[in-house]
Amino acid sequence: MKVLVDGSGSMQGDSNEQARDALDWLFHQLETDDEVSMTRFGTYPKQVLPRLQRCTEAYQRRLRSEARNIKADLGGTEMERALEAVIRITAEDEQPVTAASILLITDGEVWNIENIVATVRQSGHRLFALGVGSSPAESLLRELAEVSGGACEMVSPNQSMQQAVARLLERMRHSSAVQCQLTSDSELLYQSPSPREITQGDTLHQWAQIASRPTTAPTLQWTCNGQSQSRQALQLMWDEDSVLPRLCAAQRLLDTTDEIRQKTLALQYQLVTPHTNFILVHQRAEGEKAQDLPLLQQVAQMQAAGVGGNGTVIQDALNVTRAAPSLLAMRCGTDNMSYGTNAGISANNTPTVWRFSRTHSASRVDGMANAGMDDIEIPAFLRKGADGDDMDDILRKARERNEARAQGADSASPPEDDDYWKKQREYTFNNSVIQLTEVLKTLDDPSNPLAVMLQNFNGQAYGNRTFRAALSVTLRSCNTSFMAGFVLHHAKTLGSPAMVWAVLLCWLAEEIGLPLERHAKRLLESELVRLPEPTKAKLLESLEFITTGRKLIMIKS
């Protein structure tokens, strides 16, 4: 048995403690006839005991001493290099060992899986994998055990190590040498390699590639424990759907490292490999097509307790439940150092509360701005009153004015002249129309503010899912103050300034001919679908009056 223990940094904490417990129990079960070596690996393999030696009493004491002192201090997880080194380990007489059992103890955080599987399959060694920790790579370890004729055990932090190691040791001790081959009346082009050892209860699959269709069923010949036997298949069945040949070809890919041969087999039998491509095209129906770009979201992840040395599993006296950790507060600075947490539970294992310097009011204003400009057009004094600062005073003055008007008392009216404010609104609107008329005359100029605005809107349409969000960002980056009076006047009819801008941008694209991207057009259509056609027609008529130089219609009181 060649023991290979993961000593990479990911084994820190619970995984390393589990590996110590497994080896300590295993080395107490060894017999004098057993031959054992020990290797640790990380970025590079470290031969702790580099020869297969008989387990004398002194050698067993040395093995147990090395097991108690193993650490996770060897860097990364280069499993392929470590397996190659372990396969090359010889006996005490320096004779190569072609059939041995490898006990691999690891948390399974590895890469370059294809080469690792090929290395184990071609070595003739049987690999027995023991996955420890909270999240071992079970699929990889089981594949390594399957292709080599070994076995795999997964051990959680709460599970007994002795039972898992005992099951693996039992399979190692009761294995027998075996040699299998197929014979047929047709010429054999290739035959799958025979396993070198077998344990009671194992299932073996043997197959061969033939030059032509045989007339009789093939015969399996095998030698086990010095006795040779043979058995002919009961009948010959022919697979017309070519499913079995593809399964066999996929297994044959594991028996060779020749990239050219692997590519040829993959193309011949239509297999997905690192040397071939598989492209699947799904054409959606017109009504099922996405209308905007995918929205990226970051999902916070928490590592399992014990992974990579991050904390440990805490249990009560009954060994059932886990103690509930307290909340962890994190500073949102450059260090992100934690404080105020329970001892023994690290930052990666507990829920996190992030503290921001931004106030609730600031985040609320940002949300209103992203929803569209009509959501933030509340005067500042009203927003202040909504927080309760001067609301009582505002309500009291409003009640006094209403009571005075109901009694017909002119002296209680506001000091402002209503006619004065009407004239101011008319002046603001007319001035805005005059400026808009001048701007529309120079739309061919690349620096024209409306042309620049539409160009910016095209860019913002790719990063925002709603029209109002894209419009809000666009308005903050463009000079559109000359449009204020025009937009506010028509907002009373259309319902919101955002609707006015939507009609204006659509009109610039369809009637004037300014470029409008496909994504921007989708956002506009999603906004304008809620606008009645008669209301939209009134604004378009006003725009036509401006562009043709006709007489402007003044605001009626």
pLDDT in tens, the chain (557 residues): 999 999 988 888 888 888 888 899 999 999 999 999 999 998 889 999 989 999 999 999 999 999 988 988 888 888 888 888 999 898 887 888 877 899 999 887 666 666 777 777 778 788 899 998 877 778 888 888 887 888 899 888 777 788 899 999 998 888 888 889 999 988 998 898 887 788 887 888 888 988 888 888 999 999 988 889 999 998 888 877 778 888 888 888 877 778 888 899 999 888 888 888 888 888 888 888 887 787 888 877 766 666 655 556 655 434 444 444 444 444 333 333 333 334 443 444 444 444 444 444 444 444 444 444 444 444 444 444 444 445 556 556 666 766 766 666 544 444 445 565 666 667 677 777 787 788 888 877 878 888 888 888 888 887 777 888 888 888 888 877 878 778 887 887 787 888 888 888 888 888 888 888 887 888 888 888 878 888 888 788 877 777 665 334 334 43
What is the CA 241 to chain-centroid distance, rounded?
Answer: 37
Strand partners, 470: none
Q: Burial of 213 by CB count in 10 Å (0-12 exposed, 13-18 middle, 19+ buried)?
A: exposed
Q: What are phi and psi of 291, to 5 degrees?
A: -95, -10
For 547: left if phi > 0, alpha if psi spans -120 to 50, otherwise beta; the answer is: alpha
Q: Which pair of tokens denotes residue 78? A: 């280069």
The beta strands (E) that lie in 225-274 are given as 227-232
Pair type for strands 126-131 and 219-224: unpaired
DSSP state of 347: G
Q: Where in the chain is the domain with CATH 3.40.50.410?
A: 2-173
CATH 3.30.300.130 fits 2-173, yes or no: no
Strand partners, 330: 338, 354
Q: Which pair of tokens denotes residue 88? A: 């090359």
Distance (Å) of CA 140 to CA 126, 129, 543:
15, 10, 68
Q: What are phi and psi of 539, to 5 degrees?
A: -70, -40
DSSP state of 349: G
362 touches 461 (CB < 8 A): no
* Neighbouring C-beta atoms of residue 470, cutoff 10 Å: 26
The beta strands (E) that lie in 15-111 are given as 35-41, 45-54, 101-106
Three-state SS sequence of 342-381: CCCCCHHHCCEEECCCCCHHHHHHHHHHHHCHHHHCCCHH
474 touches 457 (CB < 8 A): yes
Provide the CB-side half-sphere exposure for 408 (13 A, CA).
0
